[in-house]
Amino acid sequence: MAKQVLVFLGPPGVGKGTQAARLAQQLKLPHVSTGDLFRDHMKRGTPLGLKAKEFVNAGKLVPDELVVDLTLDRISQADCSNGYILDGFPRTVGQDNMLANALEKRGEAVRSALYFKAPKEIIVERISGRRTCKACGAISHVKFAPTKKAGVCDVCGGETCQRADDAADKVVKRLEEYDVNTGPLITHYEKARLLAPIDATKGVEEVFNAMMAAVKKLG
Ligand code: AMP
């Protein structure tokens, strides 16, 4: 069977991280989220984390040279040998070209780009209520998926908080960055007939079912 290299596309806050984590569990593939990788480096205070921090916290894209090596290194690890889910990468045409070149050398290619779509009002509502566990990174939402006890992660009991870049002013910047830099990738994958659009306006279960139907079609 061809290696399952799946790319998750869509604006920040559309819910693709939640769905990527579920699909990863279902398909037993690693969920490679570049945002999570950066947050981990920032938490550990590594040189990469320190460099990335000013961009991430300002809602700006981290320069390609910092993100590409990090991602290519991650997908070269043994647990990615059957495939992986790329969540938040590529985010620019430059990153996409570098990914395609690296995959070609390995005899691999992106199998499908699942594109999660929702209007801006829904995205802003989702991001502003999103909470992330400081300890394990699990995502909850004050309105749509509240934790049993406010401020306490259901998964590990850690403290939940709003990500610095989920604050309203940063969200505007991130959505701008998305339109300018990531928008052209949608057209690119559509032309390549690899785009699988998914209506992400529905609840988590319905979106999950739509995603599973799209993945099943890939065979
Ligand atoms: P996310 O968790 O996917 O919303 O990513 C959080 C932040 O990490 C983004 O706003 C960027 O600052 C940074 N980041 C994640 N992935 C990338 C990427 N592929 N290219 C550039 N910056 C990224």
Q: Kindly name the residue from 91, 126, 131, 170 that is annotated as catalytic.
A: 91
pLDDT of residue 141: 92
pLDDT of residue 68: 95
Tell me which residue of 38, 133, 132 sits closest to 88, measured CA to CA: 38
Closest residue to atom 11 of ligand 1, CA basis:
61
Letter for the amino acid at 133? Answer: C
Structure tokens at 218: 């890939």
How far from the centroid of its chain's Cα atoms is residue 200's Cα? 14
Q: Kindly name the residue from 22, 60, 111, 163 that is annotated as catalytic.
A: 163
Domain boundaries, the chain: 4-118+169-216
**From CA 107, how far away is CA 5, in angstroms rounded?**
12
Instruction: Give the whole-number percent of the chain exceeding pLDDT 90.
Output: 82
Mean pLDDT (whole number) for 20-37: 96
Q: Which of 40, 91, 93, 181 to mutate to test the pocket of ligand 1 (most atoms within 8 A of CB)?
A: 91
174 an active-site residue? yes
pLDDT of residue 38: 96
* Ligand 1 pocket check for 38: Cβ under 6 Å: yes
pLDDT band at residue 187 using 50, 70 and 90 as cut-offs: very high
130 an active-site residue? yes
pLDDT of residue 161: 95
**From CA 168, how far away is CA 200, in angstroms rounded?**
21
pLDDT of residue 173: 86
pLDDT tens digits for range 64-117: 999 999 999 999 999 999 999 999 999 999 999 999 999 999 999 999 999 999
Mean pLDDT (whole number) for 144-167: 94
Average pLDDT for the chain: 93
Indicate if the pLDDT at residue 168 is higher than 90.
no
Sorted by sequence, the CB contacts under 8 Å of residue 167 that are 6+ apart come out as none
Q: Which CATH superfamily is domain 4-118+169-216 in?
A: P-loop containing nucleotide triphosphate hydrolases (3.40.50.300)
pLDDT of residue 1: 56
Mean pLDDT (whole number) for 183-193: 95
For the chain, the distance separating the N- and C-terminal CA atoms, rounded to the nearest angstrom, is 9
Tell me which residue of 182, 170, 164, 168 sits closest to 53, measured CA to CA: 164
pLDDT of residue 172: 87
pTM above 0.95, yes or no: no
Q: Kindly name the residue from 39, 126, 130, 170 that is annotated as catalytic.
A: 130
**From CA 152, how far away is CA 132, in angstroms rounded?**
10
Indicate if the pLDDT at residue 35 is higher than 90.
yes
Higher pLDDT, 171 or 95: 95
Closest residue to atom 19 of ligand 1, CA basis:
89
Closest residue to atom 15 of ligand 1, CA basis:
35
Residues in the chain: 219
**Cis bond upstream, residue 90 (ω within 30):** yes
Nearest ligand 1 atom to the CA of 37 is 15
Instruction: Give the whole-number percent of the chain exceeding pLDDT 70.
Output: 99
